[in-house]
Structure formats: structure tokens, C-alpha cells
Structure 1
């Protein structure tokens, strides 16, 4: 929890809003004296992060799934709405509690029970997303100036390492000032695509990924939801420094949701439109053909979006490493994530688009039940009470029923999986229902939580009298 001095007060490390100081906090609770910023900062963080080519790749998949232009656009909007609402709710929790999202999960799951999902999230969300973005941006750099992929990846990994090392304030600074740059680049890309393209995308039952009934539509909408689900374990990480009051909490939630929604819908629809005007199955090749001499603008957009996306991925991945209790501080964890992301990018550069969709599915199957448990614990289990924050750092709370809720939720998704790695029996027999895994996992985890949250934890060690006196409650702030 917070660092405590000899007088029993929370230590003031003087971080405040400095962008030149390396962030001193890791997974600690942020003391009130360090709280700063405006809720509007959440819009810039998530808006800038969403200005990225992978969202266009997802929209481009509408042609692969055999969807019409209208069906594709509606799927994009629905997926973005649901995901943005979840992100807004989780962002509010960060304002209230002042701790990272994954630390919050220790409440219902226990200190050890939280380790398996965090380990998975660390590998698939932090490292996986970072590697994906390195691949896309390195290809852009290669096309622009012809340097080898491996060298481009080294340069990009080094830049994102520096941003993530400086931490929370530097990330907010980069997101705020990169937003207008990326808006101009992506807006120009959008205009050229609209001028040179045509809205000819029609339902195609012979498309390689076509699924009858509403299946294709559910899959595409699910991919856009899954994209935001992948962010959810890190939502509170970027709002935990905001002052704890109801007005700030509510506005932070709205700004977070809006920042995610605008970029998802904007670039998702551009991707759908691009799919209807191209004869290539490679979105970058399709974009090059449509942009013509303006292709360099699109390449710059792809390149710069790496920094706004991966600063969050690396920072969140480092939080995961610390949450696991590994013997690394935040700065060391950042270096580890960057090195591993670089290594994975070298492997993933071949067949990156197929690997992207598989990765997206596997991420959502495991994270969605996790999110259900965290949200239910906050609103139903009483986690919004700041007096209970010390529980999140109590290593004697080994295993909670929330872990069971998460595990049962994950297992319940298996029959519904639609992935190149595995197709569940329900998905195989009823393909027209699309991929229902996320929705089943969320609902099952929610129901198991409701049935068990009043029970005593599965495994808790007793404290000594000395340890009992050492646990200091955290107070302050109104209910958000």
C-alpha cells in the first residue's frame, strides 16, 4: 500500500505533476497529497491510444467475414459502445481507490488467487499488444526509409522504453500532445480514402470467414469489444492520481468512455470502408493502393500511433510484473516488458494479421470474467470503501471466492470458443451464433460471484497482534 514514514503518515515523494521526474510509485496506493490532474486528461489518454492502425485492421475484417458496409458499421458501433462503457466504469474505480486495476482484483481473489489471471494478462496484454504495435510500426518505418525490420523494431522499442520509464505524468503529456498530431494524420488519411474509394461492400456468402445467420456480425462486433476488453485490466492505472471526489470520478468515467468510443468508431468505420474498395487481403497494401502519393501520411500515422499505444501497454505490463510479486521495481519491469516485446515482434512479423485475431480472442476469453469479478466486488462486495484498501496489500489473504468466480467463468467460455487454435463444441455445431465466449464468461463469473461473495475467504492466514496494529486504514474522499 502507500509508503508510511516513522510517524505513521503517508510518505510524500514530491512527484505531483512533474514530467521530468521518473515516477516513484509502482503498485502503491497513491496518497491524497500526490493526487492531481483533471478528469479531461482521461480523454486524451484513451483517445490518443485509440488512434491506431490495429483498429482499422479490425474494420478491414468485415470483407473477410462477408458483411455488407451497413452491417459492418453497425457491428463496429455496438462493440465500441459496450466496451467504452466498461472502460468508463473501471476508470471511475481508479479515482476512488487510487490503486492499479490489477491490485484491486486482490480484494475478491486473494493475493495468490490473483496471480494466475495477472500472469496471463501480463503475457497476452502487456507484451502481446506491445509486440503487435512494434510489428505494424516497423513495417511502416521499413516502407518509409528502407531500414531492416529488426533495426526499426530496436529503435521503436527504445523510444517506448524511455516514455514508460518516466511513467504516469510523461504518458499523460505524450498522449495530450500527440492527439492533435494523430488527428491531423488520420483525418487526412480518412479524407483521401473517402475521395478515392467507393462504398461497394456487400454481403458475400462466399467470403473465407463468412458465418451464416448473425454469426459474422456477432464476431466483428465482438472483436471491437475484445479490443477494449484488452485495455480493461489497466483502466484504473491512468486515473488513480486524480483527486477523489464524486464530480471528478463521474467526469473521468465519461471522458474515458468518450475517448475510447470516438476513435474506435472513427477508425473502425474507415477500416470497413477500406475493405470495400480493395482487392488485396493485406490492409497495409490496400491502404497504399488507395492513398497513392499520400501513402506517406498514413505511414506517419501508423508510426506515431505506436508511441501512444505502447506507452500504455508497457506501463501496464510493468504493473503486472510488480503485481505478481516478482523481485523487480517498476523501472526494471519496464525494461523486461520492452525486451520481451521486441523478441515476440521478431517472431510475430510473419502472418501478423492471423496471429492478431487469435491473440485478440484468447485475451478476451480470460479477461472478461476477470472484469466481471472486479466490477461486482466494487459495487456489490463493498470494495468502494476506502477503509478496506489495506486488504489489497495484505499477503495473508491468500485465496478468495473471486478466484473461483473467474476460473468458472473462463471454463464456461471453452465450449463457445471460435479460434484458429480451438473451436468449442457449441461453436462448431451452431456457427450462426458467432463467438459468444465473452458474454458467457462475463455472466457466469457474475453469477458465481453473487452466490459466493458473502462467504468467508477460502484461505486466510491469521495475523499476529503486532501485524494487526501495523495495518493502517486509509481514509478520505467521498463515495464516488
Structure 2
């Protein structure tokens, strides 16, 4: 068994896909979860998310506090999902078949694919800017180079992603530490904070929502990267490593984004990467920082590309029953997903900031109910007991549609409508809340309560003898 685990750990090209990871192939340490999620969050898109808190009307102090509160709430939810990995040995979204059924789970799976494509596109926009500056080329050229790197890493799979995470976490810590020091040297931060101190309840709630939604957006795939850990691994240690890595990394990056946006103002918008790096250095140091920005996006963009492959394959297996994926099919699926993200990135690069904010908050309306249902079922109703073999059986206990989960899920989406604020739709409660979008909170608490009550009622129904 140990030899099989060592072989799996040393093989760079992953053999498994959405199939169960046997105990003999389990390997790795909990600390790798910390470094992976630290690296995934010490990156430019997190900086931009923090900057949005100021761009949308917040001050420095309360924006940072609001972002931290959102990180802790969303990070706790994310960590609970991640802790499922060693127990199930399966990708996150295939476990949704327990709550929704094989066919019913296709809806959240399809939406997860859309999420991956959107996040990959935003990553390519920012990385394209960085590589364009580094190579003195166009942003489009930078996007294409970055896409090729992501495709290779995602095709290699689990081991390559974790090794990228370890290296990127070191690089990210050094780069962000350097930029913080440069800001302290070049700006009077005390005076800057004093000049940007005004509590605005709507802006504060927006900051909380931005960071909470950032963390919850990881939930559809977080356990994909913990599923190789031995099944006896402590779920609390696993969840703590994941949550701390994600919260610490994102809070550092978003706090830096708040400061950069407050300093830059209008000059920051439309030239996010160039302005961000320009505050830190010029010449050779700037080139190194541009490389760090681009490389920092490789980890999270690879997670998104890999996750899109996992979700698409899970959808296909719901109708075909096959869980083992051939290498060619794996490569073609990832290629298709990356090409779609490239197309979105090229078309949306000139209106990035407003589109990203609306995309992030609107998309969350579809994942907070899923998260609530999944966690309530796993931790409170089934106590982690899952028939793993039946998850791949098109005629088994999870076949078809689990109507309770699906109906509660749709209710969870509907109850958010009055609270959503986006370019596509703005609910009537948004104006009463001063423009704040708290749909994510309503969309988590309501379905969590409904699904728990439905589960308790099912338990109370007498079973036929």
C-alpha cells in the first residue's frame, strides 16, 4: 500500500480523474493544503477584489475590516467543504449526487462550469496584462501565452498543481511583502487612512459580500485537492489548513488592493496590473514583479481549468455511467474550456472591473444554496456516510433526481432575488440597504434551514416493517 502511495505521489501525470481514489494511492500532508490555498489567493485578482471595496465607495479602514469579516465567514464555509475530501476520496461536485441525484446534480454542475470559465477569463485578462508588460507585447499575446501554460499544468493534474502551489506560495509571499514595504516607504499610510475614513454601511456590507463571495466561490472544487489525503486524516486539521491558507492569502492581497485603489484612484482603473507593479518598482525589479503577478495566477487558473474538466466529466458520466477518463478526452476537454475562457478574456478586457464585480456577486446566487444543502446533509443529516459505489451507478440509490434537494436549491435562488444587485438585475431590497448586496447571506441561511427541516421530517416518518 505504501509503495502504491509513493508511486502516485511521484508521478507527475495524474492517472485518476473523477473516479474514487483508493486508499493504496492516498498520500500527501495536510500542510500542502495550506500552501496551495495560500498561493491560490496571493494573486492579482484578489488584489482587484479588495480594490473594488474602495472603488465602490468604501474607505480604507472599514473596507479592510469588512473584507476580513467576509473572509472569516466564507473561509469557514470553504474549509468545511474541503474537509470532505479525505473522507470521500472524490471530487467535490460528484458528491452533490447525494443531495440532488445524478441527473439533478447536472444543474449545479453546469453552473460550476460557467463559474470556472468566468474566473479563468478574468485571470487571463490580468495575467495577459502582466505578460504583455514583461515581454513588451500586446495583452492578447500575453493572454495566449498564459493560456498555454495553464492548459499544460491542468492536463498534468493533481501533483503538478500542488507542486505549483508550493512554489507559488513562496514567490507570492516574497512579492507581496516587497510591495507592502515599498508602500510603507513611499506613502504616508497614516495620513492616507485618516484622509479616507468614513463609515458607510452599504459600502461596508459590500466589502463583506465581496470577500465572502470570493471564498464561497472556491467551494465547488476545494475538496478536489484534498481527496488524495489518507482517509484517516483529521477533518479538522484539513479544514483548518485550507481555511487559514485561503483567508490569510486573500486578506493580505485584498488589503493591499484597498491601499492601491485609495492611492491610485482613477489612474488605477483600466491599467490595474501596470499601476499595481508601478507602485513597487521600475526596470528589472518591475519585470520580476510582472513575472510574479503572472505566475501567481497560474495556480488558481489551473485550479479553474482542472475544475472545469472535473465538472464536465461528471456531467457526462451522469448519462454514460463511466468515471475513468482517457488521457485524450481529458486533454480535449481542458483545451475546449481554456479556449472559451480565452475568447471571453479577449472580448471583455477593456471593461474588466465592473464586469468582474457583477459576475462575482451574481454567480454566487447559484452557489450559496448548493453549499448550504451540501454541508447540512454531510455534517448534520448523514454524518458523512456516503455510498461511494452508488455515486457512479446510473441505477443505484442516487440515480435520477432527488427532488427535496433540487426544490430547496431553487427556493434558495428565488429568495435571493430581492437582494441581488448586478448589471443583469437589481432587486427591490437593494435600494433600502443603500446599494449593498447581501443575497449570499440570505441564500445560504434559508436553504440550510429548509433542507435541515426536510431531513428531520424524513427521519420522523415511520418506516414500513
Report if TM-score (shorter chain) is over 0.5.
yes
The structure-2 alpha-carbon separation of the partners of 1:18 and 1:230, relative to structure 1 and needing over 3 Å to count, comes to same
Within 1, Cα distance between the matches of 2:101 and 2:53? 41
Question: What's 2:433 paired with?
Answer: 431
Alpha-carbon distance, 1:241 to partner: 0.6
Q: What's 2:249 paired with?
A: 263
Residue of 38, 47, 57 corresponding to 1:56: 47
Query: How far did residue 295 of structure 1 move?
Result: 3.5
- Partner of residue 361, structure 1: 361
**2:397 paired with 1:405:** no
Residue correspondence of structure 1 range 18-29 to structure 2 within 5 A: 18-20=10-12, 22-29=13-20
Q: Shift of residue 113 of structure 1? A: 0.8
C-alpha distance in structure 2 between counterparts of 1:217 and 1:157, whole Å: 35
Higher helix share: 2
Alpha carbons 1:163, 1:171 under 8 Å: kept = yes
Say whether residues 1:370 and 2:370 are aligned partners.
yes
Residue 191 of structure 1 is aligned with which of 181, 188, 203? 181
Mapping 1:44-123, distance limit 5 Å: 44-123=35-114
Q: Does 1:236 align with 2:228?
A: no
Q: 1:73 to 1:13 in 2, by over 3 A?
A: closer
Matched, 1:168 2:155: no
Corresponding pairs, count:
435
Cα displacement (A) at 1:254 = 0.9
Once the two structures are TM-superposed, the CA of residue 284 in structure 1 deviates from its matched residue by: 3.2
Q: Which residue of 2 aligns with 1:40?
A: 31
Partner of 1:287: 276
Q: Is the 8 A contact 1:102 1:118 kept in 2?
A: yes
Q: What is the alpha-carbon distance in structure 2 between the residues aligned to residue 122 and residue 198 of structure 1?
A: 44
Q: TM-score, normalised by structure 1?
A: 0.86
Deviation of the 1:433 alpha carbon: 7.0
RMSD: 2.2
What is aligned with 2:462? none
Farther-moved stretch of structure 1 (332-341 vs 435-444): 332-341
**Post-superposition offset of 1:18:** 2.4
Give per-residue Cα distances to partners, 1:41-97, cap 9 Å, x unaligned.
101110111111111112212322332221011012111111221121111111111
Give the alignment of 1:151-230 within 5 angstroms. Answer: 151-199=141-189, 200-201=192-193, 202=195, 214-230=201-217
Partner of 2:461: none
**Map of 1:17 onto structure 2:** 9
Are 1:415 and 2:418 an aligned pair? yes
Whole-angstrom CA distance in 2 between matches of 1:242 and 1:353: 37
Partner SS for 2:58: coil
Using the TM superposition, name which of 406-415 and 185-194 deviates more.
185-194
1:40–1:251 contact (8 Å) kept in structure 2: no
Equivalent runs, 1:111-150 vs 2, <5 Å? 111-124=102-115, 126-150=116-140
Alignment match, 2:393: 394
Give how far 1:286 is off.
3.7
Change (3 A) 1:172 1:162: same
Instruction: Tell me the TM-score normalised to structure 2 length.
Output: 0.88
Distance 1:289 1:41, change over 3 A: closer
Separation in 2 of the partners of 1:297 and 1:272?
Answer: 23
Instruction: Indicate conservation of the 8 Å contact 1:215/1:431, yes or no.
Output: yes
Query: Structure 2: how far apart are the matches of 1:425 and 1:57?
Result: 28
Q: Matched residues in 1 for 2:337 and 2:230: separation?
A: 30
Distance 1:455 1:398 in 2: 22
Structure 2 counterpart of 1:463: none
- State the alpha-carbon separation in 2 of the partners of residues 34 and 51 from structure 1: 30
8 Å CA contact retained: 2:91, 2:224: yes
Counterpart CA distance in 1 for 2:348 and 2:143 is 12
Deviations 1:348-401 (A, max 9, x none): 212111111111012211111110011011012316114x22232232321111
Question: Structure 2: 5+ residue runs without aligned partners?
Answer: 459-465
The 8 Å contact of residues 125 and 349 in structure 2, kept in 1 or not, is answered as yes
Cα displacement string for residues 6-53 of structure 1 (whole angstroms, at most 9, x for unaligned residues): xxxxxx899610243x21211111111111111111011101111111
Q: Is the 8 A contact 1:135 1:349 kept in 2?
A: yes
Query: How far does residue 120 in structure 1 lie from its aligned partner after superposition?
Result: 1.0
Q: 2:278, 2:171 → 1: CA distance?
A: 23
Query: Residue by residue, what CA displacement relative to the aligned partner does 1:217-269 show, whole Å, maximum 9, x if unpaired?
Result: 0111110111111111001100001001153x221111101100111111111
Q: Partner of 1:23: helix, strand, or coil?
A: coil
